[in-house]
Structure 1
């Protein structure tokens, strides 16, 4: 295909809370081969959306997806090696076929709490964020910081962090034991972040943890250890966002290009994807992205394959449908229930995320303001950054438990992100939080696991905050914040015609004694002990009322009115 030269600059905008380069600002003069066509981005959503349940579509314009065209994507699909293009099974790479055969895994419905992790090369500098690679080549402050600590980028580039990513203290069995003790039911480590470094033993990319850096199959070791303790194991792949992740300033580009250094070093061009962003280079990149996913699928049989924002645009549909069909057919062969998880409307061909097809919807750090039926999750970080940084602050168990209760009361699942270090440790403050969350769940997990939403998710306003969940015929009221010594009134349980049945018993999880109560038109007034059994949140179990049924849907989409 005919090449057009794309130009680069350092104009910036905010994407997912981080700095990202805007294509409108790509106005420098260094000649970098760029795509020959103009991407047709998704049209903005113009209909009125239900914000209470987080209904939304894909962002318009550049949002981490490769700036390419449908024709290039279709050419990449045709170039996929025949032996990898499709696994035997009922799924074909069409929305209709995926919709017909897909069902949310039954194990996910009751899991409610999983662990995510940003684990990669960015933990070596441990500065700024997990987007360090982008910022060390684009953000003036980070450029200077990098030069002061490591030298100029043409002498010490991002690739030079690979030997320093040693993981010498990584012990997969110890990590798995911690994850089990945290109360999590599944684990999703980063197999590859935006920086293009594969954390597994790969045959389709040389830039991997088995051949470089730690010289270990990190994903493989963790997969074995996690499954040994009875947890589900998934992988996240952010790799499609690598193609245009780095956008350096003019002077840096000119110098590196002239010297064939770092970003323009022929040995590393396929790692950075800066020197050539032509249609042919993008096609090759997309084929390799597909091959990496197939390799992850076949080697580790993940229970969840999680994708970041980069796959959202509609022009990428042919490629992600090919991945979905392959994955789901392979899972049929294995006899496993699996799912892709994606954001926004990436797997919602009609344009909004209430009609997702073949994927569990993920909200990044944002909890819907109201109850959303069906199946969905929120990925939320334990600290101030997703990847490990030296000055990150870490939330205590109380905050995490409150977030978990809020998500579950609205019918969702919490995917809590942790941040391992470059030498293979999970920092002590993160361990402490995880263990305390696990201790809380050992007493109160009955109100979290295998639950669904009630008719109201909670009581807000003055402390304490209340969150409700349902399991079987029991209603749980999770009391968060300062313990109300003496009595607590639950106005949502007012004795009116909208509630069926009658309150029979009230007890406190962790205590054997039943509690006294008065049920009236004002609500349920419960007598409480002076001392709370738990430091961070306490749960009342209420029986006798007729509970609403499960909000699970096979598609994962909200129940239609």
Structure 2
């Protein structure tokens, strides 16, 4: 018995001390920290110098000077003096009304469990005082404030997980352009700018999620991605809690990393083989703030709720983006959408948080659209459109004599009848209360 005990202890110590090596076989085998799958809902925040022109999208600088998009060229010629350069927008990024506590309150009210802020987008401007981005960061110019740190403190006080978006490449950084012109056979940008900045960011802010992007122009060997991730998983101050996505080099998306993004607004038709996330934006045209945004450009609340439900039913997380203004205010229409999601989750969150995909994810032959989630022995049928009848038919569940059906938000059991001996049930609905997002959840206990 003593020998067996020693073997068990040795095994546990070995597991605890296991280290990941700098290759995808080892890194991809790391279990995803449980908090991420349980969270299900997050808020994405695109904010930076691009919020000042507030035109076209957060890619404005590239569209103007990289692609020479005539729409952007004309916009600048009409509204700014000759010779005006993009860096001259930075001093106008005042963030004078930025109140991180107010933002954190909105994010908490949205029902989100994690928040991801752009620490650095492709323009290279960092929303913190990066020592590797002299005079092109939010402390040296513009707000003269540590935006990453201030929001992180407020978010964490509300027990929300905090993540940071970081672009690997920078459109016009001279070291990156030099490496690019050399066919990425040199790594001056990576060694002198990217990696020192990433290490500093992790040690300083201890994010629980790194949302990597801007990887597609070069392979992961150029970015030194596997070496960085091995350090992140083995020795960093967040090694036990950190979650990362799959954008670490050309060809890595939907193949390597912590969870799959695959592509912006990724919408699979069935559960992927790995944990995944759909990132999408309330403004369907842009991720960053646009001054010429129209109401017709925005996702409606019912569309957001339907998208969220579909994503979670297929095993994904839902990361919903908003773009604050350069002044640091949250556009009221974005706040309204976020609070609407939260109002729906306060009633229906039981079917979302910490849920798992059921054996059937959706029914196409039901009387109304239905998506399923599960939690233990309980199954949730989420109806994403108000039924035109007083009944709803669910063909997937197999009932028993002890089956119980309730509507979340109304504790009284509902009447139901089996469809056939092989399964299915018809539920008699009560007068459905008005629901934010026009979606209701039936809880089914003791079904298979």
Q: Do the aligned partners of residues 321 and 479 (structure 1) sit closer, same or farther apart at CA in structure 2, a change above 3 Å counting?
A: same
Q: Which residue of 1 aligns with 2:41?
A: 113
Q: Do the aligned partners of residues 93 and 281 (structure 1) sit closer, same or farther apart at CA in structure 2, a change above 3 Å counting?
A: closer
CA–CA separation in structure 1 for the residues paired with 2:146 and 2:320:
23
Aligned-pair distance for 1:472?
Answer: 1.3
- 2:124 aligned with 1:196, yes or no? yes
Q: Superposed, which structure 2 residues align to 1:324-403 within 5 Å?
A: 324-331=229-236, 333-334=237-238, 336-343=240-247, 348=252, 353=254, 356=256, 358-363=257-262, 364-384=264-284, 385-392=286-293, 393-403=297-307
Q: Is the 8 A contact 2:366 2:394 kept in 1?
A: no
- 2:447 aligned with 1:545, yes or no? yes
Q: Do the aligned partners of residues 193 and 461 (structure 1) sit closer, same or farther apart at CA in structure 2, a change above 3 Å counting?
A: farther
CA–CA separation in structure 2 for the residues paired with 1:228 and 1:373:
34
Aligned-pair distance for 1:429?
Answer: 0.3
Secondary structure of 1:180's match?
A: helix
What are the ranges of 5 or more consecutive residues in structure 2 without an aligned counterpart? 1-16
Match of 1:518 among 406, 410, 417: 417
Aligned-pair distance for 1:216?
Answer: 0.5
Q: Do the aligned partners of residues 99 and 142 (structure 1) sit closer, same or farther apart at CA in structure 2, a change above 3 Å counting?
A: closer
Match of 2:382 among 475, 478, 485: 478
Q: Is the 8 A contact 2:361 2:372 kept in 1?
A: yes
Aligned length: 419
CA–CA separation in structure 2 for the residues paired with 1:106 and 1:150:
50
Secondary structure of 1:426's match?
A: coil
Q: Is the 8 A contact 1:165 1:422 kept in 2?
A: yes
Q: Superposed, which structure 2 residues align to 1:157-556 within 5 Å?
A: 157-206=85-134, 207-238=136-167, 240-242=168-170, 245=171, 270=174, 278-279=181-182, 283-287=187-191, 288-311=193-216, 313-314=218-219, 316=221, 319-331=224-236, 333-334=237-238, 336-343=240-247, 348=252, 353=254, 356=256, 358-363=257-262, 364-384=264-284, 385-392=286-293, 393-460=297-364, 464-493=368-397, 499=398, 504-521=403-420, 523-535=424-436, 536-546=438-448
CA–CA separation in structure 2 for the residues paired with 1:414 and 1:312:
27
Q: Is the 8 A contact 2:399 2:424 kept in 1?
A: no
Aligned-pair distance for 1:298?
Answer: 0.7
CA–CA separation in structure 1 for the residues paired with 2:447 and 2:386:
27
CA–CA separation in structure 1 for the residues paired with 2:120 and 2:365:
42
CA–CA separation in structure 1 for the residues paired with 2:58 and 2:349:
32
RMSD: 2.6
CA–CA separation in structure 1 for the residues paired with 2:106 and 2:242:
24
- 2:74 aligned with 1:144, yes or no? yes
What are the superposed Cα offsets for residues 120-166 of structure 1, whole Å, 9 maximum, x if unpaired?
111111111111001121112211111111133xx211101001111
Q: Is the 8 A contact 1:511 1:533 kept in 2?
A: no
Aligned-pair distance for 1:167?
Answer: 0.4
TM-score (norm 1): 0.70
Aligned-pair distance for 1:99?
Answer: 4.1
Q: Which residue of 2 aligns with 1:33?
A: none
Q: Which moved more, 1:387-396 or 1:203-212?
A: 387-396
Q: Is the 8 A contact 1:170 1:423 kept in 2?
A: yes
Q: Do the aligned partners of residues 103 and 147 (structure 1) sit closer, same or farther apart at CA in structure 2, a change above 3 Å counting?
A: same
Q: Do the aligned partners of residues 164 and 89 (structure 1) sit closer, same or farther apart at CA in structure 2, a change above 3 Å counting?
A: farther
